[in-house]
Copies of this chain bind each other. A is one copy, B any other.
Amino acid sequence: MSLARALFAPRAVALIGASGDAAKNTARPQRFLRRHGYTGRVVPVNPTRGEVLGEKAYPSLAEAPEGIEHAFVMAPGEAVERALEDCGRRGVPVMSIFSDGFADSGPAGAARQARLVERARALGVRLLGPNSMGVVNLPGRLALTVNAVLEMDSPPAGTTSMVSQSGTMLGTVLSRGAARGQGFSKLISVGNESDLGVGELVELLADDPETRVILLFLETVRDAARLAAAARRAHAAGKPVVAYKLGRSALGAALARSHTGALAGSDRAMDAWFRDCGIVRVDMLETLIEIAPLLAGRAPPAPGRAPRVAVVTTTGGGAASVVDRMGALGIETMPNESGAPIVDLTMSATPEKYAAALESLLAAPACDAVLAVVGSSAQFHPQLAVEPILSARAGAKPLAAYLTPHAEKSLALLAGAGVAAFRTPEACADAFAAYFAWRAPRARPAGSGPAWPAGVPRSGALDAAQALRLIAALGIPVAESTVAQPPGYAHAIPYPVAAKLIAPGLEHKTEAGAVALGISGQGELEANIGAMLKHAGRAQPQAILVQRMESGLAEAIAGYREDPLVGPVVIAGAGGVLAELHGDFALRLAPVSEREASEMIEEVKGLAPIRGYRKLPKGDLAALAAAVAALSRLALVPGRPVAEAEVNPLVVKANGVVAVDALVVLREGT
């Protein structure tokens, strides 16, 4: 039996810990399965009752009938472990666990979970959870969940599926979608992801013929590699994957950490990772619910000029609220014949006029998408403008509607016709922004990494001289340097020079008094070295890095590091304190090609002066891109020994760039 069949369409389900009290959470799966028309066999397991809610119950799974394909465990404590043994013995392929007290509750629980998973592997039983609210399959009429939202009458079936790290949010998405006629196919609450994780479930959905769009509610990412592979598989199958992920703010990240126990990566890295594996990230929760029809059956848009949306409306103010928000997200509108930014039919709309405007915008090559806004008429007079939208032929061009009043019937009409319809101007603009940012999964540059230079250690922190040697080995030009020895500090670098203390992992050298710049001769060099050593509390004279002074048009930063969730990333930014204060950098998963590095450089505001802003002289952006791409190839070094590397400053000249200083920290134990 396939895993998908056992998870989503089991012929018989055991409910372990099913309560006979209909008001209890643990009575819900049985009530919900019956209420929503499950056609398979339901087997309540309850040690103290021969009958549960009118159906024959069994004291344990061991005594239950043959043919159970999915066990749902709600019983607390050791009952979970006992149920697993029974599943193993009876050949039940999947056990979903609602019970908590595992990785969700501290180190002892985590250890208990690890033992459970080990035993499940040995027994050949796959686990969903613990701490999972279960699985819903609407076309398959399986409501195997404790989520109270299934009290609703006939949730509509559809072709959108969802994997959620929050059981509640699964219900939220289902109930809000249902209220406006949006249907769903599979909804899975993954709980602690002890065995079946988001990635494997997305794989199943990528292969699921009833699923066209896959939604993710994420608090963390526990297995980035598997989810990335699954997203690529979904892309290949023509199925968009959309994610709402918490942790955009430091407070949210801290909460997600305390809630999931997972490490927190940086949100910027997560953003880059989503884009890299072709996942559409939305900013707002309701966009996750509303965006599916905008993406279903469509391919990622081609990158190019700023995207342009044509807008037709029966309300100027209503359209303006979306347009204003889209403008803030970098989206433009297509001007109408008289140059106005929207086609405003306020007061003059008729069904024929609205339909004609819509058709002409959908046919216009100058716009990339069409937004149809409907005002007060949407609530009680759908024939005026909602019905023309239903009959519009969108084809490949995305069409979305925003209705200003409370208009659930019209929303349901649009959902029924497969038109994306938005309740708020903000989610509507968010969806367009997410759509236009959507890219096919990126093929990362292949090839092997640079050879590790001789004499540079492969663990611990590197000193300034070693770090520069590694940077040079990557192919990045480095300021002419030498290690000068005491006494005398003889060297062959022409003056003026810089002198730097050699110490591993020394950050903020200038502020630490570990660097002296613009030294014009031998005497000054020795005096500066003496002062540096004294400041650093070194009693003995020691070797010093002497470096040629470099200057250029601007200073940039190139960085590389291992993100704890998504792996190696590369950063390009402007130099200096201000760029740091403004978070003004571009980030991608490493490695990147030189073309991708050029795109990164374009994104950095602080590099505008060397792009010709205010007619300032242009810097060698190609050389800067080459250096960023070269640094990113640290991701290709076997074993990825580098935890963090930063070239700062990287001096940008009219011709070429040169690395003046570098900080490299290696991973422990590599």
Contacts and interface: CB of A to CB of B under 8 A. Distances in A.
Interface string A230-273: 00000000000000101111111111101100000000000000
Given A175-B376, A176-B405, 5 more contacts: A148-B379, A166-B320, A179-B406, A285-B424, A578-B582
A278 interface: no
Given A317-B168, A375-B171, A582-B605, A324 B424 contact: no
Nearest to A148: B376
A379 B246 contact: no
12 contacts: A152-B379, A166-B316, A175-B376, A248-B327, A251-B323, A251-B327, A285-B424, A286-B424, A577-B608, A577-B613, A577-B614, A581-B608
B324 A252 contact: yes
A168 B219 contact: no
Chain A, interface SS category: helix
A219 B341 contact: no
Task: Please name the 3 residue pairs, one residue from A and one from B, whose CB atoms are nearest each other, closest first.
Answer: A166-B317, A252-B324, A251-B327
A247 to B, nearest CB: 7
Contacts of A179: 406
A285 B406 CA distance: 13
A625 interface: no
Nearest to A403: B172
Contacts of A147: 376
One complex includes copies of this chain to the number of 2
A407 B511 CA distance: 57
A503 interface: no
A404 B168 contact: yes
Contact of A404 (B169, B333, B344): B169
A581 B614 CA distance: 11
B324 A246 contact: yes
Contact of A328 (B248, B314, B332, B425): B248
Q: Which of A247, A381, A405 has the most CB of B within 10 A?
A: A405
Nearest to A317: B166
Contacts of A581: 605-606, 608, 613
Interface in A304-330: 314-321, 323-328
A204 interface: no
A506 interface: no
